[in-house]
Amino acid sequence: MGRTVNQGFERIPYSWHEQIINLLAERVVIVDRDGMILYINKGYCDFIGTTVDQALGRDVQDVIANSRMHIVAKTGEKELAALQPINGSEMIANRFPLFENGEVVGALGTVMFRSPEEWRMYKSKIQHLVEELKYYQTKVQRDMKSKYSFHDLIGNSSTFLAAKKLAERISDSQSSVLLIGESGTGKELFAQAIHDNSVRCSSPFVAINCASIPEHLLESELYGYEDGAFTGAKKGGKMGQFELANEGTLFLDEIGDMPLPMQSKLLRVLQEKEVQRIGGHKSIPVDVRVIAATHRDLEKMVEDGEFRQDLFYRLNVIKIDIPPLRKRKEDIPLISISLLKKLEKRFFRKGIELSDEVMEKLMEHKWPGNIRELENVLERCINVIDGNTIQLDHLPLYLHEQQRERKMQTQSISNDNDAVSPTSIPLPLSVKPLKETVALAEKQAIQHALALTKGNKLEAAKLLEIGKTSFYEKCKLYEIK
């Protein structure tokens, strides 16, 4: 088998060495401190037009044109990716000094690319990979920046301005913030504006919806995992959202839907300011400001044992109540104009306006879906208009039906107040069984909620204030997809 030694590289059979060096696809030359060639492989000899026997023992300057190997063997300073004119072209070479007992004893030279053409060929093969990597890096960096500032929070009502002013005032604080508001009121916009106005604005803004991620995945999403932590774990492991948000802001939306076991782990991270990946044993320090948001009554959940009291106090350092749209109706015209400008860009339209009748209708509606519902209505209108003015017939049908229902209720009350006889009260042409009437009302309510949330069943269930399991069961019962 050839000569073997007990340790290191020399344990490899000596007869393998030459084959290994040639298989590395590198052209290799080794010189002593005087620049005499001690070793040169066949690939290098073929490149410069000589043979191994002709090159060994000779001065490297006589064998390789414009060589600097003898200089590196004297100075002990390496030269990386150096251009060297040879055979009418320029090769790219690396030169490394060799040491023994701290003294320079020689030098090793390798040819990386035999010509600039070879380098360009290699570069072209990897260029698309480099460009793809840059694209995804840029996308991640862009996605982890706040997209909204306080300038984007539209409204002049006193309740809204009070919430906005408080948010601006506490932006530079490091304390946790709890945003309370119904679905669709713009809680994430507030969170992004706070981050944008803080000293952390140049660092990541990472948002995660605690209600949209299954319980068994939420822990790995927040804290990450190590390589091989569980079946299907990504090779090399994965950073969690806390690590990604380091030195920045982590927005925990729908914190009220976080399972109790996860609440305990979150509390520890907030207290200790460190995370431990799943399957890991090392604690990783993190510097993160947490902004949490919910549409639920956390104080009642604490009383009912559904939310940890200690976590509630940890998150509720600065509480900001964001008013629903029905309590700031004077802001509807301003918000509508702002949303129309946003939608114009998306649909490549210009000069879209609202008729006076439409604005009046918008002011009358109660907006259970808040600003998200208003945007949904305006987007629907832009999709169906021919000109530039949104008219009454462009509005969704349910807005017209609600007005008719209110008129009938008003008429009924008026009739009651006038003490008219029962025979004068208009009755429906037919009466369905109560069970069918209730079922029809439930089905219409679910379809309406799904329309407002653009098919998002979790958001629709929250609007209807029922559990997601119950919601899915009713969708199945009424064959709603």
Output the pLDDT for position 136: 63
Beta-carbon contacts of residue 352 (< 8 Å; ≥ 6 apart): 340, 343, 344, 382, 385, 388, 389, 390
Residue-range domains of the chain with CATH: 8-116 (3.30.450.20), 150-229+237-323 (3.40.50.300), 327-395+430-473 (1.10.8.60)
Output the pLDDT for position 124: 64
192, two tokens: 């992004």
Output the pLDDT for position 49: 86
Q: What is the mean pLDDT of each run of 10 residues along the chain (481 residues)?
A: 49 73 75 94 84 94 91 92 73 88 92 62 62 63 77 94 96 95 94 95 92 87 88 82 94 94 93 92 94 94 94 96 95 95 90 93 92 94 91 86 56 52 46 72 85 84 83 82 76
Output the pLDDT for position 4: 42
β-pair type (177-180, 318-321): parallel
Q: Report how far apart, in Å, the C-alpha atoms of 316 and of each of 292, 404, 460, 467 are.
A: 9, 43, 27, 25
How many CB atoms lie under 10 A from the CB of residue 279? 15
Is 0.75 topped by the overall pTM?
A: no
